[in-house]
Amino acid sequence: MLQPALYIVATPIGNLDDITARAVQVLSKATVVAAEDTRHTQRLLTHLGVKAKLESFHDYSDDSRVAYFLDKVEAGESVALVSDAGTPLISDPGYSLVATAHQRGIQVVPVPGACAMVAALSAAGLPSDSFTFEGFLPAKATGRKGRLSELAKNQGTLIFYESPHRIESMLSDVLEVLGDRPAAIARELTKMFETITKSTVSELIGFTKQDDNQRKGEFVVLIEGNREQTADGSDIDTDHLLTTLLAELPVKQSAALAATILGVKKKPLYERALQLSGKK
């Protein structure tokens, strides 16, 4: 018997052996498995030799469906949530279920495993100390470019999911908005035609254009964060620092304090502070 709880169970993203022993145990013992697509999950369960009661749960499920599964947990049953591939809630259904479980004081237990963005980041050769996972960018170019502009200053690696029919236009927009940064494409991870290519955005565009196969399958796109140093050579965003200080202090004091923090001369900061405060 499993302890009554909502279990969030990661499943493979390609290679069916990428599932943990604990995940198999939870799927076998759960009273019910809530699946994004029951037929898809049935194929995995058949491969694993697991018999389970499958019921559907997806992002279009309404409040009554959320309540239906959580009532079961409150009645002493165990519910396992799975998506079609990887970790539920990561660009996949489940958020409403987990958020409501917390509101109702119901225990939520993660059963970790495969996740395409983590697998991609671990093998892409781009800085992994800090990153932003964006999931899918907006489908239309205007929205996509707008979101990319908002991300332009991020210093951590940017990670996106992308579909085959948008991979080329997405990379072109990245080139236009973020410039020709180091980047990587992780395609068909854990599957037969897995390809991980690290280069620059412009070369990756050439690479996907020259070979039809490189536009097929599933993609994670990773773009190096903004590595530009500020004019004074520090990693601190001077404007942000000055604006923060100006909200509390007069121009002269803000410039003096910023100069001390950054270890640079006061005069250029004073000039910039005047501009930022609209006094010049």
User: Given the rule CB under 6 A, which residues bind ligand SAM?
Assistant: 13-14, 83, 85-87, 90-92, 115-117, 161-163, 186-191, 218-220
Q: Which is nearer to ligand SAM, 197 or 277 (CB)?
A: 197
Q: Which DSSP string do the residues of 146-178 spell out, in sequence order?
A: HHHHHHTT--SEEEEEE-GGGHHHHHHHHHHHH
CA atoms within 13 A on the CB side of 179: 10
Shortest gap between Cβ of 120 and ligand SAM (angstroms)? Answer: 7
Amino acid at 136: F
As measured in angstroms, the least distance from the Cβ of 198 to ligand SAM is: 15
Smallest separation (angstroms) from ligand SAM to the CB of 135: 8
Single-letter residue type at 132: T
Taking the least distance from each CB to ligand SAM, the nearer of 61 and 254 is 61
Instruction: Give the span between the Cα atoms of 13 and 188, in whole angstroms.
Output: 9
Minimal CB distance residue for ligand SAM: 86
* Cα→Cα distances 145→63, 178, 219, 224, 248, Å: 34, 9, 19, 17, 34
Between the two ends of the chain, the Cα-to-Cα distance in Å is 72
Which residue, 188 or 224, is less far from ligand SAM as judged by CB? 188
Pick between residue 135 and residue 146 the one whose CB is nearest to ligand SAM: 135
Residue 113 vs 269, nearer CB to ligand SAM? 113
The CB-of-176 to ligand SAM minimum distance in angstroms stands at 21
Q: Which residues contact 203 (CB under 8 A, 6 or more apart)?
A: none
Q: How far is the CB of 240 from ligand SAM (least distance, A)?
A: 32
